[in-house]
Structure 1
Amino acid sequence: MLIFHKQITINTVLGRPSYHNITEELKEFTKASKIKNGICVVSVPHTTCSVYFDENMHDINYFGDEYLQVDINNIMDKIAPRCTTENQYNSPGPEHIKFGMSLSDPDYPAEKWTMLNTEAHIRASIFGSASETIIIKDGEMLLGSLGRLYFVDWDQNRERKRKCNIMIMGE
């Protein structure tokens, strides 16, 4: 059995959930892996992100979001409204704020307001899956003609570099 690892870095946007079609990169990695039959596992190590499988909807808005993604955002806004002030949600509490402020990340200096992303955690929990598994047969991912794999960062508070891990295994 062969195992192939790869990582994608995704630059997210500020002010709205950040959607990214990662299908072409996954197809390229599948081809490069030389694995003919197996699986491709896509996962994200971020608690406010999801990867998901859906249909390409073709139509996009001015931000480049597909109309289905706009519809998803509209529904999520009703279910888990954007966190705009402390105490809007129970989370984050004072202990978590204290912990978050103690972290050091030179790319993302700690600011209390950036921790007001409770809706992003709720949306990722509701929307689900920090991973997807796709079957590979005869060197091709079985996605159907319109199936695409998307990465979404629900955290709207700042731009970031996010990671998406890929493992392809098989023969």
Structure 2
Amino acid sequence: VMSAIKESNIKNGLCLVQTAHTTCSVYFDEYMHDTNYYGDDYLTVDIDHLLDRLVPRQTTENFPYLSPGPKHIAYGMKKTDPNYPAEKWSMLNTDAHIRADLLGSNVTLGIKDGRLMNGSVGSIYFVDFDQTRERNRIVNIILVGDDK
């Protein structure tokens, strides 16, 4: 994000960081300096623990969620996009959709004097909650402003 702002020459304006993936989130939070043995900062781990209690993982069809239903499964089985394998189990990701809904898909921060207004410890995080498949993910950075 910082390099995109620098390359744009925008001095004052807005920065939108957004994902169109419905199982992904972009959110803004404080960077924590302490990490667990996997390298995850403690606040991220705390958020994960909270989400695990609120939104249990979907491990089989129709439990603990109704979604995806038979019409959506039929739709998914017809897709030819390599990011969406034609496997019914790959659609058992309702938990990922709900988690992404809770954290949101975008962050908008100001740009002042060519710098992102994220404070001294604020960071932008991207997370993909879908654990059913590997895929390429896209994050969009949209900058609006002037060079004065």
Shorter-normalised TM range:
over 0.9
Matches within 5 A, 1:29-108: 29-88=4-63, 89-108=65-84
Is 100-109 or 118-127 further displaced after alignment? 100-109
CA-to-partner distance for each residue in 1:9-62, whole Å, 9 max, x for gaps?
Answer: xxxxxxxxxxxxxxxxx0011000000000111110011111111000012223
Identity %: 58
Alignment root-mean-square deviation, CA:
1.1
Moved beyond 6 Å, runs of 4+ = none
* TM-score, length basis structure 1: 0.81
Q: Distance in 2 between matches of 1:166 and 1:48?
A: 18
**One of 121, 124, 133 as aligned partner of 2:100:** 124
Task: Name structure 1 gaps, 5 residues minimum.
Answer: 1-25
Q: CA deviation at 1:87?
A: 1.2
Q: Distance in 2 between matches of 1:80 and 1:107?
A: 24
* TM-score, length basis structure 2: 0.93
Task: Name structure 2 gaps, 5 residues minimum.
Answer: none
Q: Distance in 1 between matches of 2:33 and 2:130?
A: 24
The code of the aligned residue for 1:112 comes to: K
Aligned residues: 145
The answer to whether the 8 A contact 2:83-2:136 is kept is no
The code of the aligned residue for 2:36 comes to: N
CA-to-partner distance for each residue in 1:109-141, whole Å, 9 max, x for gaps?
Answer: 2211110001011111122x2111110000000
Q: Distance in 2 between matches of 1:107 and 1:48?
A: 13
Secondary structure at the counterpart of residue 148 of structure 1 = strand
Q: CA deviation at 1:160?
A: 1.8
